[in-house]
Amino acid sequence: MDENIRKVSEELDSAAPGLTHQEAIEAFRIRFLGRKGTVSALFEQLGTVPKEQRGQIGKQLNDLKNKAQGLIDAATAGQQNSVINTRTDLTLPGYPVQFGKLHPLTVVMNEMIEIFRFLGFSVASGPELEHDWYNFEALNFEHDHPARDMQDTYFIDRDLLLRTHTSPVQIRVMESQKPPIRSIMPGRVYRNEAVSARSYCLFHQLEGLLVDKNVSFVDLKTILLAFAREFFGPQTKIKLRPSFFPFTEPSAEVDVSCHLCHGKGCRVCKHTGWLEILGCGMVDPNVLKACNVDPEEYSGYAFGMGIDRIAMMRYGIDDIRLLWDNNQRFLQQF
Amino acid sequence: MKIIYSWLKEFVDFDWSPEELASRLTMTGLEIEGIERVGASFKGVIIGKVVSREKHPNADKLSVCRVDLGDGHPVQIVCGAPNVAAGQTVPVATAGAVLGADFTIKKATIRGQESNGMICSKSELGLEEGKSDGIWVLDESLTAGLDLASVLNIREDYVLEVAITANRGDALSHLGVARDVAALAGKTVRFPDLTVDPKYISKIQSSEKIKIELDSPDQGPVYAGWYLEGVTARPSPEWMQTRITQMGLRPRNILVDVTNYVMMELGQPLHAFDYDRLKSGTIRVKTTGPGPFTTLDSKERQLPDQALMICDGNDPVAVAGIMGGENSEVEDSTSRVLLESAWFNPSSVRKTAKKLGISTDSSYRFERGIDSGLQKTAALRAAKLIVENTGGKMAETPVLAVAKHLIQPELTLRFSQIKRILGIEIPKEKVHQILDSLGFVMIGENQTEMMVRVPAHRPDVTREIDLIEELIRIYGFHHVPEAETVSVSYTAEQKSSYSFDNKLRFMLTGAGFQEILCNSMIPEKDALLVTGKIVPILNPQSEEMGVLRPALAPGMLAIVQKNQNHGITDLRFFELGHCFTSVKSDRYSKIGNHQEEIRIGLMMTGQTVKSTWNSQPESSTLFHLKGTVLAVLDVFRLSEPVTVTAVDSEFYEDCLVLSTGNVQVGHIGKISKKVQSFFGLKQPVFIAELILDSLYSLPKHQPRYQELPKFLPVEKDMAFWVSRSVPAGEMVQSIQETNPGQISQVTVFDVFEDPKNQQNQKSVGFRMTLQNPEKTFTDQEIDGIMTAVRQMMEKKFNASLRGG
């Protein structure tokens, strides 16, 4: 009996590889487990086995039956999978949907605007074609003063020019609203500078203006630090250096600790650990006066930054002209 | 501007390294942009005497010299300079000396002749830019064997490049920078030595030699002259030449060099006239009319009207504060000199310099405002340096003319304002110390305020706020803390298109359009394709950026072309930007004679649906773009419906104008063949532009909820044969109007033209959605509606039911 069981078990093994289609599986089932199958025949012989061996042989027979059934089950499962594969190849690519992307400058600009809106600033805008009064005069740029050389200007006529900064919107906002004023002014500005990898004749700025009672440099520093940490990361530090802008006094340049090396020094920050990103200061009393705001009653701060340079730092873009070439392969990267 | 480290130390004591000095100055507002190490150590370079010189036996251009290096045993050196000769005293780099960054001198054999070093030129020693004419022949009194560095008093030094902001004219000199250093270090500034050995002073008074007349007191109120005689226009001493070279100028002769030296030292621009070339005995400072004038750089320039001139009697000899004239310039033969040290009105100098198109070291300083109390002192300093180094004598006194006294303002500083503006208190003793070291003079003080007189070197300080800036500049912004919390006071959000602009951006990117940003300055020929009403730029950078864009299309097409050159031809772009046209009327909010409007432009070209393993590609058509544009317009929720009208256009070959009411809000078009070939485009391009200013200002409606229909709609299709010229849009509208309230929607599902059809007809299939909010239609009612539509079509459009 042992011998017979072993023989049938070997037959199972040798027949198993042939279970590649439904007919073969059915034939296998009939041959071994059918009413007249070999395994069933062995069960019928169990009665002839001596009583004391019956338990052990019975267990062997059950194992044999389970083995046959296991082979059938496995082959059937495999069969079903292959049936699905011939119906639909799910590895084929999905039908492509190509979204457009925002221009990287818009991405950076939007991110900054959202931070300042969260900090309570509303968005204001103005024309790109400006009068001398708004672009220079009201901003305390005196006539025939070298400060006018700070910004190479494109002129349309004696009075009209392409704005060289977003600061004229400060004047327009102060003309149309009374303090408290809490505005940011994003926009495109123009400088008559030779085009190179490092400079372009137009770029984008984001300007901020707050005018209220009892506004001091502490408030300015506070908002700048809040912005820097939101934009560059929570560990960011800021450093202010005295500088000169005709429309603010005192004025400062603001450096933020390099977000790449965290102040250790790297290629992006030219090994200084700091990135120069914005200019700021307290609104010059002459500017407030030009807008009929009493500088003894109100004070304010203003700040401004160049979006293009910050975007270049963030994305590691080494040639500013790429931003204006609008190569589809470039734009799809952001 | 450049500042020399060792020179600065002559004015003020400080222990900081060049790097530390740089970072401290940067934090006071004088930004140091770079530090350059100069005046190499010259280790191993010694004085030698050329004992003999012979021609090199194997090389025409080389000499073999025997040079005494002080030990009495002359060595052989091969030299290539044409000017080497026996008897000369020369600098010799001996074996082991390092010149420049890494050029080590070694013993060598040159064409068979041993050479034990190198006879140096100035440029080889790093003392002259470019290539020197030959070896440097030194004063023969120098002893052989001495170290060159010790003889010339040349040390290692540093040149700091300072970026001076437009308000800080006072810092355009070593003295000026030293004042800031003194304020930082708590030291006082040391003025250069002004005592003159009596042997250099003559009995003559300058006023005996020259009269000064100030005819234009507003432009030229202060003029000092100092008369010198018996001087020679010889080269300056080496130490002065070194500094002048390090400052980036080229040494000329001592008369010219001293004027530059004192300007860089004290900030006062000076000019030296050859006294013998002045004929009238009177210097007149006055404005003149236009005319030609030749400046000392031998260029004839056209003087603008009202230029302030220095005149010899009535003949101009210098453009005041800008540049001297060729007619009175010092020459090699000059022995008598009139030194000019004056104060000119900054904006007058600036106007003339601008009109002449020149900027000199002198005009640069005058424009920014120089110290109005320094004229006599600076002239004395310069006269002293000239006579001490050339011999000759200076007049005992200068001639000084003052037509108008420049008054130093007195300012009140309220202590409460420091706190109000800066948010911090600055200790009173610190306030005193800072203002004092910067030269402000205390006039009075009480509990709440103090009064100071502004020094003559700070014309930029005219208000209390300027004093507060001076305080924090020196005290340091690091003393200003950040607050713990940001408080937000509520201010109503002003009307802004920001949010809606972004909504449009996100919709369009979702629809597969890529945002681009184009230059607003475009070539005139591109702009003229769109309109003749263009806005040119007066001073364009190039023709390529000659005018402002009147529309977004030209810029977009240029970008399509660039991408096409990179093999990228399937594109969908949009841009949001300002466009500019010149206008005559006042219809829009106008600036001057120009109209500026904000537009959004959409562009499609190439395949809009790519092929897949299961579908064919689809090329962009005008209808793809039309569908997108109308969907975008829908988002504005305009109160009035948008109407679409076909119009003729030169830019577009098929063009639709979009309007609402009688306001045009945009257009959609397929660019014409002419425009396509102008931009070198290989395939059709479809462009739409919407005028956002108009769309934002038009009345909008709020959506109101409408009850949802309770009954299922019924869809019915009908196709008609109709003349090819009947527009589908009209038929759709007419069908809709046949049974008001019962046909909720009509679309075109099929357009078919049978090429064999001789009657010039087309078949148009309409799908109608029948919907009654009250009930379900009976078959009879549906037949009734269909019949009404058919009869209307037959009657109005002469159509016949297809297959009917």
Give the lowest-confidence range in A81-95, B32-46, B214-228. A81-95
Q: What is the pLDDT of residues B407-416, one digit of tens each?
A: 899 999 999 9
Q: Which of residues 425-454 of B touch A (CB under 8 A)?
A: none
Q: Are B481 and A221 inside 8 Å of each other by CB? A: yes
Q: What is the pLDDT of residues A157-190, one digit of tens each?
A: 888 999 999 999 999 999 999 999 999 999 999 9
Is there a contact between B85 and B53 (Cβ–Cβ < 8 Å)?
yes
**Best residue of A207, A211, A241, A283 to probe chain B, by most B CBs closer than 10 Å:** A241
Q: Which residues of B touch A89 (CB under 8 A)?
A: none
Q: Is the confidence at residue B785, as pLDDT, over 50?
A: yes
Q: Which residues of B touch A183 (CB under 8 A)?
A: 494
Q: Are B512 and A183 inside 8 Å of each other by CB? A: no
Query: Mean pLDDT throughout B287-293?
Result: 93
For residue B526, give Cα distances in angstroms to A63, B312, B545, B554, B556. Answer: 88, 56, 10, 6, 11
Q: Which residues of A touch B539 (CB under 8 A)?
A: 154-155, 192
Q: Is the confidence at residue A83, as pLDDT, over 80?
A: no
> Structure tokens of A250?
């005192």
Q: What's the whole-model pTM score?
A: 0.81
Q: Are A242 and B472 inside 8 Å of each other by CB? A: yes
Nearest CA in chain B to A151: B166
For residue B619, give Cα distances in angstroms to A202, B91, B509. Answer: 35, 80, 19
DSSP conformational letter for B425: -
Element (H, E) at B186: none
pLDDT exceeding 90 applies to what percent of chain A? Answer: 58
A174 and A72 within one domain: no
Conformational region of residue A171, where left means phi above 0, alpha means psi within -120 to 50, and beta covers everything else? alpha
The CA dihedral of B735, B740, B741, B742, to the nearest 10 degrees, is -50
Q: What is the pLDDT of residues B512-536, one digit of tens each?
A: 999 999 999 999 999 999 998 999 9
A233 and A181 within one domain: yes
Query: Mean pLDDT throughout B350-362?
Result: 94
Can you tell me the distance from the alpha carbon of B148 to that of B103, in angstroms, rounded to the nearest whole number? 18
Amino acid residing at A186: P
Q: What is the pLDDT of residues B592-639, one digit of tens each?
A: 578 999 999 999 999 998 888 888 999 999 999 999 999 999 999 999
Q: Are A249 and B466 inside 8 Å of each other by CB? A: yes
Q: Is the minimum CB–CB distance between A86 and chain B shorter than 8 Å?
A: no
How far apart are the CA of A143 and the nearest CA of chain B, in angstroms?
A: 8
Task: Pick the more confident residue, A12 or B342.
Answer: B342
Q: Which residues of B touch A251 (CB under 8 A)?
A: 469
Q: Are A324 and B517 inside 8 Å of each other by CB? A: yes
Strand intervals (E) in A168-237? 181-190, 202-212
Domain range spanning residue A11?
2-87
Query: Mean pLDDT throughout B489-506?
Result: 84
Can you tell me the distance from the alpha carbon of A124 to that of B195, in angstroms, rounded to the nearest whole number? 63
A278 and A184 within one domain: yes
Q: Which of residues 25-54 of B touch A (CB under 8 A)?
A: 26-29, 31
A308 and A166 within one domain: yes
> Structure tokens of B604?
């499609």
Q: Which residues of A touch B481 (CB under 8 A)?
A: 218, 221
Other Cβ atoms closer than 10 A to B607: 15
Q: Which residues of B touch A92 (CB under 8 A)?
A: 613
Q: What is the band of A7 on the pLDDT scale with cuts at 50, 70, 90?
A: confident
What's the pLDDT score for residue B589? 44
**Residue A308's CATH number:** 3.30.930.10
| Structural domain contains residue A92 | no
What's the pLDDT score for residue A211? 96
| Structural domain contains residue A157 | yes
Q: Are B517 and A105 inside 8 Å of each other by CB? A: yes
What's the pLDDT score for residue B153? 67
What's the pLDDT score for residue B189? 93
Q: Are A188 and B520 inside 8 Å of each other by CB? A: yes
Other Cβ atoms closer than 10 A to B341: 29
Q: Is the confidence at residue B265, as pLDDT, over 70?
A: yes
Q: Is the minimum CB–CB distance between A223 and chain B shorter than 8 Å?
A: yes
What's the pLDDT score for residue A86? 61
Is there a contact between A106 and B515 (Cβ–Cβ < 8 Å)?
yes
How far apart are the CA of A79 and the nearest CA of chain B, in angstroms?
A: 27
Q: Are A250 and B513 inside 8 Å of each other by CB? A: no
Q: Is the minimum CB–CB distance between B215 and chain A shorter than 8 Å?
A: no
Can you tell me the distance from the alpha carbon of A13 to that of A22, in angstroms, rounded to the nearest whole number? 18
pLDDT exceeding 70 applies to what percent of chain A? Answer: 97
Task: Pick the more confident residue, B279 or B140.
Answer: B279
A161 and A48 within one domain: no
How far apart are the CA of A243 and the nearest CA of chain B, in angstroms?
A: 5
Please, which residues bridge with residue A276 across strands?
Answer: A255
| Structural domain contains residue A281 | yes
Q: Is the confidence at residue A82, as pLDDT, over 80?
A: no
For residue B460, give Cα distances in angstroms to B168, B363, B370, B575. Answer: 7, 17, 10, 45
Q: Are A328 and B486 inside 8 Å of each other by CB? A: no
Strand pairing report for B642-647 and A274-283: unpaired
Task: Give the sign of the dihedral formed by CA B620, CA B625, CA B626, CA B628.
Answer: positive
pLDDT exceeding 90 applies to what percent of chain B? Answer: 76
Please report how many Cα atoms fall inside a 13 Å half-sphere around the Cα of residue B799, on the Cβ side. 28
Q: Which residues of A touch B540 (CB under 8 A)?
A: 154
Across all residues in chain B, what is the average pLDDT?
91
Q: Which residues of B touch A103 (CB under 8 A)?
A: 515-517
Q: Which of residues 176-195 of B touch A (CB under 8 A)?
A: none
Helices (H) and strands (E) in chain A, counts: 12, 9
> Structure tokens of B87?
């008897």
What's the pLDDT score for residue B124? 84
Q: Which of residues 181-210 of A touch B (CB under 8 A)?
A: 181-183, 186, 188, 190, 192, 194-195, 201-202
Please, which residues bridge with residue B50 across strands?
Answer: B67
Helices (H), B251-301: 254-266
Q: Is the minimum CB–CB distance between A89 and chain B shorter than 8 Å?
A: no
How far apart are the CA of A165 and the nearest CA of chain B, in angstroms?
A: 15
What's the pLDDT score for residue A144? 82
> Structure tokens of B536?
């040119």
| Structural domain contains residue A93 | no
Give buried/exposed letters for A250-273 (b at 16+ CB in 10 A, else e).
Answer: bbbbbbbbbbbeebeeeeebeeeb
CA angle B761, B766, B771 (to 5 degrees): 155
Burial class (CB in 10 A: 0-12, 13-18, 19+), B388: middle
Q: Which residues of A touch B613 (CB under 8 A)?
A: 92-93
How far apart are the CA of A87 and the nearest CA of chain B, in angstroms?
A: 15
| Structural domain contains residue A62 | yes
Can you tell me the distance from the alpha carbon of A254 to that of A276, in angstroms, rounded to the nearest whole number? 6
Of B580, B553, B519, nearest in space to B667 by CA: B553
Q: Which residues of A touch B519 (CB under 8 A)?
A: 201-202, 324
Q: Is the minimum CB–CB distance between B591 and chain A shorter than 8 Å?
A: yes
What's the pLDDT score for residue A65? 87
Q: What is the band of A73 on the pLDDT scale with cuts at 50, 70, 90?
A: confident
Q: Is the confidence at residue B40, as pLDDT, over 70?
A: no
Give the lowest-confidence range in A61-65, A327-331, B458-462. A61-65
Query: Mean pLDDT throughout B643-669?
Result: 94
Q: Is the confidence at residue B493, as pLDDT, over 70?
A: no
Q: Which of A143, A223, A331 minimises the CB distance to B516?
A: A331
Query: Mean pLDDT throughout B739-752?
Result: 88
First to last CA, chain A: 76
| Bond preceding residue A295 cis, omega within 30 of 0 | no
Q: Which of B478, B520, B566 minimises the CB distance to A327?
A: B566
Q: Which of residues 9-68 of A touch B (CB under 8 A)?
A: none
A237 and A114 within one domain: yes
Q: What is the pLDDT of residues A227-247, one digit of tens each?
A: 999 999 999 999 999 999 999
Q: Is the minimum CB–CB distance between A216 and chain B shorter than 8 Å?
A: yes
Amino acid residing at B675: V
Q: Which of residues 504-533 of B touch A (CB under 8 A)?
A: 505, 508-521
Query: Mean pLDDT throughout B491-503?
Result: 83
Amino acid residing at A325: D
For residue B421, give Cα distances in angstroms to A216, B418, B460, B634. Answer: 5, 6, 19, 50
Q: What is the band of B590 on the pLDDT scale with cuts at 50, 70, 90?
A: very low
A131 and A218 within one domain: yes
Q: Is the confidence at residue B588, as pLDDT, over 50?
A: no
| Structural domain contains residue A96 | no
Of B269, B509, B229, B236, nearest in space to B365 by CA: B269
What's the pLDDT score for residue A38? 84
Can you tell me the distance from the alpha carbon of A303 to that of A280, in angstroms, rounded to the nearest whole number? 4
A111 and A63 within one domain: no
Q: Are A106 and B510 inside 8 Å of each other by CB? A: no
Q: Which residues of B touch A106 (CB under 8 A)?
A: 505, 515, 517
Other Cβ atoms closer than 10 A to A56: 11
What's the pLDDT score for residue B753? 84
Q: What is the band of B706 on the pLDDT scale with cuts at 50, 70, 90?
A: confident
Q: What is the pLDDT of residues B377-424, one digit of tens each?
A: 999 999 999 999 998 999 999 999 999 888 899 999 999 999 999 999
| Structural domain contains residue A245 | yes
Q: Are A156 and B592 inside 8 Å of each other by CB? A: yes
Q: Is the confidence at residue B492, as pLDDT, over 70?
A: no
Q: Which residues of A touch B566 (CB under 8 A)?
A: 327-329
Q: Is the confidence at residue B301, as pLDDT, over 50?
A: yes
Nearest CA in chain A to B514: A100
Amino acid residing at A74: A
Q: Are B537 and A162 inside 8 Å of each other by CB? A: yes
Task: Pick the more confident residue, B668 or A76.
Answer: B668
Nearest CA in chain A to B419: A216
Q: Are A92 and B494 inside 8 Å of each other by CB? A: no
- What lies within 8 Å, CB to CB, of B183 at 6+ separation is B28, B434, B437, B438, B474
Give the lowest-confidence range in A27-31, A118-122, B208-212, B642-646. A27-31
Q: Is the confidence at residue B562, as pLDDT, over 80?
A: yes
Q: Which of residues 113-152 of A touch B (CB under 8 A)?
A: 113, 119-120, 122-125, 127-131, 143-147, 149-150
Can you tell me the distance from the alpha carbon of B341 to that of B376, in angstroms, rounded to the nearest whole number? 7
Q: Which of B423, B424, B509 minimises the CB distance to A100?
A: B509
Can you tell me the distance from the alpha carbon of B214 to that of B375, in angstroms, rounded to the nearest whole number? 15
Give the lowest-confidence range in A16-20, B141-145, B357-361. A16-20
Boundary residue ending a domain (A38, A58, A87) = A87
DSSP conformational letter for B173: S
Say how many domains are in chain A: 2
Q: Are A192 and B481 inside 8 Å of each other by CB? A: no
Across all residues in chain A, what is the average pLDDT?
90
Can you tell me the distance from the alpha carbon of A229 to that of A257, in angstroms, rounded to the nearest whole number? 10
Nearest CA in chain A to B578: A128
A164 and A255 within one domain: yes
Dihedrals phi, psi of B737, to nearest 5 degrees: -85, -10
A271 and A213 within one domain: yes
Q: Which of B488, B571, B594 minimises the CB distance to A129?
A: B594
Q: What is the band of B101 on the pLDDT scale with cuts at 50, 70, 90?
A: low
| Structural domain contains residue A58 | yes
Element (H, E) at A40: helix A38-45
Conformational region of residue B117, where left means phi above 0, alpha means psi within -120 to 50, and beta covers everything else? left
Query: Mean pLDDT throughout B567-589?
Result: 83
Helices (H) and strands (E) in chain B, counts: 21, 44
What's the pLDDT score for residue B681? 96
Rg (CA), chain A: 40
Can you tell me the distance from the alpha carbon of A65 to that of A5, in angstroms, rounded to the nearest whole number? 10
Q: Is the confidence at residue B176, as pLDDT, over 60?
A: yes
A116 and A77 within one domain: no
A148 and A70 within one domain: no
Task: Give the sign of the dihedral formed by CA B413, CA B418, CA B420, CA B422.
Answer: positive
